[in-house]
Amino acid sequence: MSQCIFCRIAVKEVDAVIVYEDEHIMAFLDIGPIRPGHTQIIAKSHVATFEELPPALAARILHLGQQLARRMKQVYAVDRVAFLFTGGDVAHVHAHVVPMHEKTDITSARYLVGSDRPVWGSEHLMVHRQILENVRTELGFVTSPDV
Ligand SMILES: [Zn+2]
């Protein structure tokens, strides 16, 4: 058994609010979202970094990101959705998909402890399960086989 938190989510040993799942990938809502709807897309198999992904799996993740982005634009009335691999927190490949309300939504500021820079969404960093469930309902991507 892997101790990697995303591997544990992939096998449902750790709970997550899943918005998409198939044999190869899974998408779930970030528990500390930059903006409501902030989603993580992971490969179910443990791959540490995006450059190690087999191209077909990378394409599958990107394609789901495109689908989520189109839906997020409708739901959150934003012009842009960010898609990025950072890998700074969990060493298991994951793409962040974030509705962009402000150009500064994607910064490293939220990772900086003690920063005096304003960080949007700090009130959302300790969200409750029901809030995430409401976001999943808004996105309408529930395809988990056990839901
Ligand atoms: Zn892993």
Q: Model confidence over 50-92: pLDDT tens digits?
A: 999 999 999 999 999 999 999 999 999 999 999 999 877 788 9
Instruction: Tell me the β-bridge partners of 99.
Output: 81
Q: In angstroms, what is the span from residue 126 Cα to ligand 1's centroid?
A: 23
Give the chain's domain count: 1
The whole-angstrom separation of Cα 67 and Cα 58 is 14
* CA 97 – ligand 1 centroid, Å: 19
Does 24 participate in catalysis according to the annotation? Answer: no
CA-closest candidate to residue 22, choices 64, 50, 58: 64
Catalytic residue among 94, 96, 101, 128, which?
A: 94
- Domain interval for residue 53: 5-139
Tell me, yes or no, whether 145 lies in a domain.
Answer: no
Query: What is the spatial distance between Cα 123 and Cα 107, in angstroms, rounded to a whole number?
Result: 17
Q: So what's the pLDDT on residue 21?
A: 95
Does the residue 116 lie in any domain? yes
Answer whether residue 144 is part of any domain.
Answer: no
pLDDT tens digit sequence for 93-110 = 999 999 998 887 877 665
CATH, residue 109: 3.30.428.10
Instruction: State the burial class of residue 74 (Cβ atoms within 10 Å of its Cβ: 0-12, 13-18, 19+).
Output: exposed
1 or 72, which is more confident? 72
- CA of 58 from ligand 1 middle (Å) equals 16
Indicate the helix (H) or strand (E) that contains 61: helix 55-76
On whether residue 106 sits in a domain, the answer given is: yes
Give residue 70 CA to ligand 1 midpoint distance, Å: 28
pLDDT at 84: 93
CB 59 within 8 A of CB 20: no
Tens of pLDDT, residues 109-140: 654 444 444 443 434 445 567 777 788 888 88
How many angstroms separate the CA atoms of 39 and 42, rounded?
10
54 belongs to a structural domain? yes
Gap from CA of 2 to ligand 1 centroid (Å) = 7
Higher pLDDT, 13 or 142: 13
